[in-house]
Amino acid sequence: MTTWDVEDRLKALSEILEELASRDEDQVILVEGAKDKGGLKLLGVEGEVVMVQTRDGIFGVAEQLAKERKRAIILTDWDRKGGQLCRLLKNALSANSVPYDDQTRTRLAKVSKGEIKDVESLPSYFSRLVSQARIADGSGFLPR
């Protein structure tokens, strides 16, 4: 990985996290489980984050969001299981006329370029990018 890659990834990841942290109040982030929710919180992404595998199932979540007139941001993991869950969520949300964003998930997968494949790993990935960027520009120190 070159210095440029690290800086680009860090900048892109920071922008995505800022967008998530400053999202509108009617936007709910949908994640798979508690570790994903905790990872987002560690990165400063708060507000309503719903674990879809522990609350009334996928269709129950979609129906509740429709009732509350909310929009969804799908942030399932970008592994095979997460992809399947994302498709199920898109179908359930569409069936209930709930607007959703699945592009943020796609952007996170591209930024991580196969280094991580789940939301819960974002805090450690972010820290690693920060460290690599510091080392590359000479402002940090090399680990022993």
Per residue in 95-127, pLDDT (tens digit) is 999 999 999 999 999 999 889 999 999 999 999
Q: pLDDT for 7-66, tens place per residue?
A: 899 999 999 999 999 999 999 999 999 999 999 999 999 999 999 987 688 999 999 999
Q: What would the 3-class secondary structure string for the chain be?
A: CCHHHHHHHHHHHHHHHHHHHCCCCCEEEEECCHHHHHHHHHCCCCCCEEECCCCCHHHHHHHHHHHCCCEEEECCCCCHHHHHHHHHHHHHHHHCCCCEECHHHHHHHHHHCCCCCCHHHHHHHHHHHHHHHHHHHCCCCCCC
Task: Indicate whether this model's pTM tops 0.95.
Answer: no
- CATH entry 3.90.330.10 includes domain 3-136: no
Q: Where are the domains of the chain?
A: 3-136
For residue 128, pLDDT beyond 70 = yes
